[in-house]
Amino acid sequence: MEYTKLGKSNLTVSKICLGTMHFGGVTPEAEAFEIMDRALELGIQFFDTANVYGGQTGRGATEEILGRWFRQGGGRRDSVVLATKVYGNMTDPDIPNEEHGISAYKVRRHLADSLKRLQTDHVDLYQVHHIDRRITAEEFWGTFERLVDHGDVLYVGTSNFPGWGLAKFQMQALQRGFLGFVSEQTQYNLLNRIPELEVLPAALDFGIGILAYMPLAGGLLTGKRQAPEGSRTYNVEREYGLNLSGNTQFGAFSALCGDIGEKEHVVAIAWTLANPAVSSAIVGIRRLEHLEGIERAAELRLDEETMNRLNEIFDINRGRPLRPGPAPEAYAW
Distance CA 83, CA 124 (A): 6
List the one residue out of 138, 208, 146 whose CA is nearest residue 172: 138
User: CB of 220 within 8 A of CB of 237?
Assistant: yes
Q: What is the sign of the dihedral through the CA atoms of 302, 305, 308 and 312?
A: negative
What's the pLDDT at 275? 96
What's the pLDDT at 189? 94
Q: What's the mean pLDDT in 299-321? A: 82
Active-site annotation holder among 53, 87, 126, 188 = 53
% of the chain exceeding 90 in pLDDT: 73
Q: Catalytic residue at 53?
A: yes
Q: Mean pLDDT of all residues in the chain?
A: 91
Between 328 and 290, where is the model more confident? 290
Distance CA 234, CA 145 (A): 42
Domain range list for the chain:
3-223+266-302
For residue 53, report the phi and psi dihedrals to the nearest 5 degrees.
Answer: -75, 150
The helix, strand and coil proportions of the chain, stated in percent and rounded to the nearest 5, come to: 40, 15, 40
Distance CA 290, CA 268 (A): 14
Q: What's the mean pLDDT in 255-263? A: 95
Name the band, by pLDDT with cuts 50, 70 and 90, for residue 293: confident
What's the pLDDT at 324? 67
pLDDT at 204 over 90: yes
Q: Which of 38-52, 166-180, 239-253 has the lowest average pLDDT?
A: 239-253
Q: Provide the residue type at 201 as one letter.
A: P
Q: Please state which CATH class domain 3-223+266-302 belongs to.
A: alpha beta
Do strands 81-86 and 153-159 pair parallel, antiparallel, or not at all (unpaired)?
A: unpaired
- Three-class DSSP category at 212: strand
Residues ≥6 apart with Cβ < 8 Å to 288: 31, 34, 35, 38
User: CB of 240 within 8 A of CB of 233?
Assistant: no
Give tens-digit pLDDT for 137-177.
999 999 999 999 999 999 999 999 999 999 999 999 999 99
What's the pLDDT at 319? 45
pLDDT at 228 over 50: yes
